[in-house]
């Protein structure tokens, strides 16, 4: 259970702004939420339903998907390869409001309101092999972890945690990326940001850490540590999650690029093209239509890429994980789709 720390209560609210929404139920004629809109030759369908405010996603090496929900972490498994999780079960229940999850060997790392927990786990199992334990009580003056803000570097020697910063009491401290050893020791400030980091992710070719700085004007996708040009998003965008596409099932336009959740308006997912591990063009709209086709709106909150190259989009308000796959039997072996341009 999370310790009750009143001094941090206001920070938890800040950290959860991007994931906590009122449950709604926009439904099709069949009684299910309407799928979001995707470009031609792509197909969006529900990978899992009935989730409790999903906040973060992690795809494991065997293809299982972990989803951080309001009251724990669930395991989703597609046993027959049809793009729908037919097994959905609780994996971690002793942590309330987990915000991020990462894997290192036989350990799951979970960011929570009271710090970083390590949980003994063998891939493929449906339960933990030992209880979770707190390995790092993050410095109170650094602020709380944010949703989706947990990632290891390429050689898994450093765990990065996105922190919201501290507003009160004065003096305020900036949002930041905090670095830890896998045992939770030797914590240090890795980078300061202008606003809450909307997700952390490694670029797949060179392994550089990227984040979206929501405090920049406009919000900006940037490489932590610099050295690579950044990408400005629309001035009215509300970024909330980040993932890189390191598979080869999508057209060349998307390979090696980034996907970013923008919660402004009805919500959408942007595609940012990369070439040679560097941004190569402006953001383009990829997934949209979270307004529910006339019903109560959904809200994209988290992203992940499956082992078979589909994009997963967690819809926090409707409790659905959408799966976006490329489907074009008549296309050339290496087709290039043309996403719609994002708002300037």
Distances 283 to 226, 264, 274 between C-alpha atoms, Å: 20, 14, 10
Tell me the pLDDT tens digit for each residue of 23-33.
333 344 456 77
Per-residue pLDDT for 115 more than 90? yes
Whole-angstrom distance, CA of residue 322 vs CA of residue 338: 21
Q: Which helix (H) or strand (E) holds 12?
A: helix 9-15
169 preceded by a cis bond (ω within 30 of 0) = yes
pLDDT of residue 329: 74
| C-alpha 334: how far from chain center | 28
Tell me the pLDDT band of 19, cut-offs 50, 70 and 90.
very low
Predicted pLDDT of residue 8: 37
Task: Report pTM.
Answer: 0.88
Pairing of strands 72-77, 65-69: antiparallel
What is the distance between the alpha carbons of residues 121 and 123, in angstroms, rounded to a whole number? 6
Q: Is 103 exposed, middle or buried (0-12, 13-18, 19+ CB in 10 A)?
A: middle
Rounded (5°) CA angle 121-211-282: 130
Q: What is the DSSP letter of 174?
A: -
* Cα within 13 Å of Cα(49), Cβ side: 12
Mean pLDDT of the chain: 87
The pLDDT tens digits of the residues spanning 65-103 come to 999 999 899 999 999 999 999 999 999 998 888 999 999
What pLDDT score does 342 carry?
63
Of the listed ranges 164-168, 293-297, 304-308, 327-331, the least confidently predicted one is 293-297
The residue length of the chain stands at 344
**Per-residue pLDDT tens for 230-245?**
999 999 999 999 999 9
Q: Is the dihedral of CA 252, 267, 112, 106 positive or negative?
A: negative
Cβ(163)–Cβ(138) below 8 Å:
yes
Tokens 């595609």 map to which residue?
271
pLDDT of residue 69: 96
Which residues have CB under 8 Å from 165's CB, separation 6+?
A: 14, 142, 143, 172, 173, 174, 175, 176, 196
pLDDT at 13 over 90: no
List domains and CATH numbers for the chain: 34-55+140-328 (2.130.10.10)
Across 207-216, average pLDDT: 96
Nearest to 176 by CA among 186, 166, 191, 187: 191
Looking at per-residue pLDDT, the higher value among 174 and 11 belongs to 174
251 pLDDT higher than 90: yes
Q: What is the pLDDT of residue 295?
A: 62
Instruction: Convert 186-207 into a string of H (helix), E (strand) and C (coil).
Output: CCEEEEEECCCEEEEEECCCCC
Q: Is 8 helix (H, G, I), strand (E, B) or coil?
A: helix
The β-bridge partners of 288 are 37
CB 60 within 8 A of CB 67: no
- The residues, ordered by sequence, that sit 6+ positions from 86 with a Cβ below 8 Å of its Cβ are 77, 78, 79, 80
DSSP 293-329: TTSS---EEEEEE-TTSPEEEEETTTTEEEEEEE--T
Strand partners, 42: 326
pLDDT at 336: 54
């Amino acid at each position: 259970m999370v310790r009750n720390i009143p001094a941090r209560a206001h920070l938890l609210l800040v950290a959860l702004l991007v994931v906590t929404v009122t449950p709604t139920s926009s439904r099709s004629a069949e009684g299910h939420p309407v799928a979001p809109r995707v470009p031609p030759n792509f197909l969006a369908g529900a990978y899992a339903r009935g989730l409790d405010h999903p906040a973060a996603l992690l795809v494991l090496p065997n293809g299982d998907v972990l989803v951080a929900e309001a009251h724990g972490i669930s395991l989703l498994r597609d046993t027959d390869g049809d793009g729908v999780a037919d097994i959905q079960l609780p994996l971690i229940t002793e942590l309330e409001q987990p915000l991020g999850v990462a894997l290192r060997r036989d350990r799951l790392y979970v960011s929570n309101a009271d710090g970083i927990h390590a949980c003994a786990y063998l891939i493929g199992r449906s339960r933990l092999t030992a209880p979770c334990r707190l390995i790092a009580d993050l410095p109170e003056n650094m602020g709380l972890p944010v949703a989706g803000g947990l990632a290891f570097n390429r050689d898994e020697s450093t765990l990065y945690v996105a922190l919201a910063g501290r507003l009160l009491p004065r003096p305020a401290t900036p949002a930041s990326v905090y670095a830890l050893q896998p045992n939770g020791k030797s914590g240090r400030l890795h980078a300061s940001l202008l606003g809450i980091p909307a997700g952390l992710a490694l670029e797949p070719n060179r392994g550089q850490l990227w984040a979206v700085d929501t405090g920049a004007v406009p919000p900006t996708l940037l490489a932590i540590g610099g050295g690579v040009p950044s990408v400005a998003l629309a001035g009215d965008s509300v970024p909330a999650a980040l993932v890189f596409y390191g598979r080869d099932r999508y057209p060349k336009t998307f390979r090696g690029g980034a996907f970013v959740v923008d919660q402004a308006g009805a919500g959408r997912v942007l595609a940012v093209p990369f070439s040679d591990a560097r941004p190569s063009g402006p953001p383009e709209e990829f997934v949209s239509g979270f307004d529910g086709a006339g019903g109560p709106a959904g809200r994209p909150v988290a992203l992940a890429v499956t082992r078979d190259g589909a994009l997963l989009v967690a819809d926090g308000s409707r409790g659905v994980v959408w799966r976006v796959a490329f489907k074009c039997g008549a296309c050339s072996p290496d087709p290039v789709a043309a996403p719609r341009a994002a708002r300037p």
